A and B are shown apart, each in its own frame.
Chain A
């Protein structure tokens, strides 16, 4: 019993030592400039052209990522390490660029007062795109091997298969069938993909070091794209009754019909908007809370603060594990609900 307890304490002690290490570093850099919590948090939750690992400024260690720009003179591709963490201007045969606040501008066009400048179209493999690809590869790996297990053993599930099967059945029996009804099978690939893609992206975002730590599912571009895909699926699978319900509501007087049409039309777009904002806000908020708690140590400038901040951050992290699942579930559930409304057979009164 005692030995068991001691084993349980070891990770905590390591965590504590880690936080000490960071504090040491902080104090070293603190002498030069003030710690800006907002800047730190914004830096962590926004996209980046390099995968920052540790350190700051010129001495920081990071994984360079490819920069892909569609410029006035065509496609331009180079590695982000050329920017030297934003310290240097990169000049290629297609043009020269500056990296300011993780955004790429044509050299010399950025004005400090207006915070804008002339930008090339940026298709770079950023931190989030990297996570996107990583998450996709992981999902492919997991589910193709699961599918192979089914081919090999059609009987009772085993190993990875037996972990994934209840989740797949959960999506089918708790999300697809109750909301969509008998035509559910057509939408299963979309719902399953969205569910596991969002969930895994959420989870990768919670890993606090290299391959993780990005804020993909807390990025509005990501969530909005998925929401628009849901909108497209809903729109293209909508039946006659669905459109009639929107533009010419049955069973109400004509003036009300005219009044309802724009409202219903707005609701068509409000639904995916809500989807996008919900996922984005939930995941970003989780990241902000954890970063704020860790930031507390640096704001107070004392190791003692970690005694409170670290357990709290741990608690929130565990909570975020639940949120990661919950938001994936909610996104999938609402997508299924919207699809269900679009494909529902008209009720016979």
Chain B
């Protein structure tokens, strides 16, 4: 029976000692330990997080690099293509220009030739007319010495006029 009868002395001392113990430990042990543990866990968590972040950043950077490289390649290809195109165009243009020029020169030459030809023809005509007049004068001076012949000539001319 003694075994299960609480004794006031031990109850008193247990209460007192336990309350003092919990007060002391709370202030000088548990709070510093728990906060230190928490701080350490937080810092580990943070370190892990930042490592993960750095990894992601790295991957992103790599992807960016790849993208940049690809863009650069595309740009280069485009530039090359454009350059070729331009060169071709210039060549083409040069060709057409040259042919046009030639054509123009040819046509100009033709025109000049025409003009010269016409001028020459005119001159020839004038010369022929002069010559004809001279010849006609001479012929007339010789043939119009008799009336009969004059009359025949007039008739002939008149016939020509009528026909006109």
Contacts and interface: CB of A to CB of B under 8 A. Distances in A.
A129 B15 CA distance: 11
Most buried by B among A47, A129, A185: A129
Nearest to B27: A189
Interface stretch (A78-86, A106-114, A219-227, A329-337): A219-227
Interface residues on B, range: 20 to 34
B145 interface: no
Given A136-B20, A147-B28, A219 B10 contact: yes
Nearest to B41: A169
Interface stretch (B1-9, B72-80, B116-124, B149-157): B1-9
B34 A224 contact: no
Interface string A178-203: 00000001001110110001000000
A269 interface: no
A146 B5 CA distance: 38
Contact of B11 (A144, A146, A155, A225): A225
A160 to B, nearest CB: 12
Contacts of B26: 189, 193
Nearest to B19: A229
A9 B2 CA distance: 41
Size category of the binding interface on chain A: 35 or more
B25 A192 contact: yes
A169 B37 contact: yes
Interface stretch (A27-35, A118-126, A289-297): A118-126
B9 A46 contact: no
Contacts of A47: 7, 10
Contacts of A168: 33-34, 37
Nearest to A123: B9
Contacts of A185: 34
Contact of B9 (A124, A139, A169, A193): A124
A140 B13 contact: no
B16 to A, nearest CB: 9
B109 interface: no
Contacts of A169: 37
Given A46-B3, A154-B39, A154-B40, A143 B11 contact: no
A193 B25 contact: yes
A132 interface: yes
Nearest to A68: B9
B29 interface: yes
A326 to B, nearest CB: 21
A192 B12 contact: no
A224 B18 CA distance: 13
B22 interface: yes
A172 interface: yes
A172 B38 CA distance: 11
A125 B14 CA distance: 11
A101 B5 CA distance: 14
Contact of A154 (B13, B25, B36): B36
Interface in B81-128: none
Contacts of B40: 154-155
A146 B32 CA distance: 9
A150 interface: yes
Contacts of A133: 13, 17
B150 to A, nearest CB: 149
A151 B37 contact: no
Given A147-B32, A147-B33, A193-B21, 14 more contacts: A42-B3, A45-B3, A122-B9, A123-B12, A133-B13, A133-B17, A143-B30, A147-B29, A185-B34, A189-B30, A197-B18, A220-B4, A221-B14, A224-B6
Interface of A: 42, 45-47, 68, 101, 121-126, 128-129, 132-133, 136, 139-140, 143-144, 146-147, 150-151, 154-155, 165, 168-169, 172, 185, 188-190, 192-193, 197, 219-222, 224-226, 229, 280, 284
Leading 6 A-B pairs by shortest Cβ distance: A143-B29, A150-B36, A221-B10, A189-B26, A225-B14, A221-B6
7 contacts: A123-B12, A132-B10, A136-B20, A139-B25, A165-B37, A220-B5, A222-B10
